[in-house]
Amino acid sequence: MAQVLLVIGDATEQMDTLYPYFRIPEEGYTLHVAAPEARLIHMVAHQVPPGWDVTREFEGYKLPADIAFRDVREEDYLGLVISGGRAPEYLRYDEDLLRITRHFFATGKPVASICHGIEIVATADVIRGRRVTTVPKCKFDAEVCGATFVDAPVVVDGNLVCSRTWWDSAPWMREFLKLLNAARDAVAGS
């Protein structure tokens, strides 16, 4: 069975994480959760309360990570999903995660990024010249790293499928699964 890697860390947004966590296995893939360490990860919920200009964070569910970034053999995976929340703000400095991310772009394997996940692909320097979307407050991260920001629910550019927030999860996973299924079929046909 083809394997997909889901990248999270403490303060990962739970809706950004749980939608692909359940949706991808429904499609017949084995999903592994990767984090800085293989341990229980603390997720958060983000909402902009009425009258607020910024996101408010609430403690969310917890999810066990199966594997530490340093132990990932990226060639074993067909697809990569990068969750959002505050986690990418510190995960983007993890050299093993950057190695993993660069592998997926160098090989053209499907990558899904949502919300702050753009900070990881931006830091990996793999979005230069691409069209992307993200939560508007991360527009700068995308543009300063050479991407063109598009304010849309989902943007597909080559092997990259980006989305703004968990409100856009359905079109995000629909487009990612199209790429993932095509990649699986190509591997099965070779």
> Per-residue pLDDT for 57 more than 90?
no
The ranges assigned to domains in the chain are 3-189
Tokens coding 119:
């900070």
Asked if the model's pLDDT at residue 1 lies above 70, the reply is no
Kindly report the three-state secondary structure assignment for every residue of the chain.
CCEEEEECCCCEEHHHHHHHHHHHHHCCCEEEEEECCCCEEEEEEEECCCCCCCCEEEEEEEEECCEEHHHCCHHHCCEEEECCECCHHHHCCCHHHHHHHHHHHHHCCCEEEEHHHHHHHHHCCCCCCCEECCCHHHHHHHHHCCCEECCCCEEEECCEEEECCHHHHHHHHHHHHHHHHHHHHHHHHC
User: Residue 106 and residue 104: Cα distance in Å, rounded?
Assistant: 6
Whether 31 has a pLDDT exceeding 80, the answer reads: yes
**Are β-strands 160-163 and 154-157 bridged in parallel, bridged antiparallel, or unpaired?**
antiparallel
Show which residues are catalytic.
Answer: 116
Class for the domain spanning 3-189:
alpha beta
Q: How far apart are CA 79 and CA 82, in angstroms?
A: 10
pLDDT digits (tens, 9 = 90+) for 100-144: 999 999 999 999 999 999 999 999 999 999 999 999 999 999 999
Give the C-alpha separation, 129 to 121, whole Å: 13
> pLDDT value at position 8?
98
User: Closest by alpha carbon to 61, among 26, 24, 13?
Assistant: 13
Segment 71-88 mean pLDDT? 97
Of 88, 81, 90, whose CA–CA distance to 163 is shortest? 81
pTM of the model: 0.96
Residue-level pLDDT at 189: 84
